[in-house]
Amino acid sequence: MSVRILALVGSLRAGSHNRQLAETAVKHAPTGVEITLFEGLAEVPFYNEDIDVEGSVPEAAARLRAAAGQVDGFLLFSPEYNGTIPAVLKNAIDWLSRPYGAGALSGKPVAVVGTAFGQYGGVWAQDEARKSLGIAGASVLEDAKLSIPGSVTRFAETHPSDDTEVVTGLTEVIQQLSQATPSAA
């Protein structure tokens, strides 16, 4: 049985280096690990308890929850926007944290990685994502990290999947994540 991981990307830009990093994870997933890149975070409305009503949850949010309910763990790819987590990624965490105590994130292992233009590779945003995920009930893998600085120059001519150091680091994170899932036991 394969370990199933859902990848969520915090950048909506077509040429996003974080999306390319997620594509690299899908391409280089170790044997026995299936990574699915969730499409549609841009369509998920901002979380609002008034619209989170059983039987009338917005379709995009329901699709996100359904996809999350089918996996063993999560891999989030976060750029850094003004020193913190992008709104689209925080919104996904909010939707997946409900219903309180029984959301799709509850108890499942999660790793957060990413790349950003700055010299630290988005570590502030990734730390904020880990904090939010932990509060939401996920089992955050604090030691499964990959922050790649200088994305604009590093990936100007090279796709992350062609960068041996990136592929090695990402594969290590995926292995840590897959080993933390109940399916691996």
Q: Tally the residues of the chain.
A: 185
Q: Walk along the chain (185 residues) and give the pLDDT tens digit of each residue.
A: 799 999 999 999 989 999 999 999 999 999 999 999 999 999 999 999 999 999 999 999 999 999 999 999 999 999 999 999 999 999 999 999 999 888 999 999 999 999 999 998 999 999 999 999 999 999 999 999 999 999 999 999 999 999 999 999 999 999 999 999 987 65
Give the per-residue pLDDT at 100.
85
Domains contained in the chain, number: 1
Q: Is 143 within 8 Å of 175 (Cβ atoms)?
A: no
The pTM assigned to this predicted structure is 0.96
The CATH number of residue 26's host domain is: 3.40.50.360
pLDDT tens sequence across 78-101: 999 999 999 999 999 999 999 988
Range(s) of the domain holding residue 32? 3-184
Give the per-residue pLDDT at 8.
98
With residues binned 3-state (H G I as helix, E B as strand, rest as coil), the percentages for the chain, rounded to 5, are 40, 20, 40
Q: How buried is residue 57: exposed, middle or buried, by Cβ count under 10 Å (0-12/13-18/19+)? A: middle
Can you list the alpha helix ranges (DSSP code H) found in the chain? 17-27, 59-69, 87-96, 123-135, 151-154, 164-179
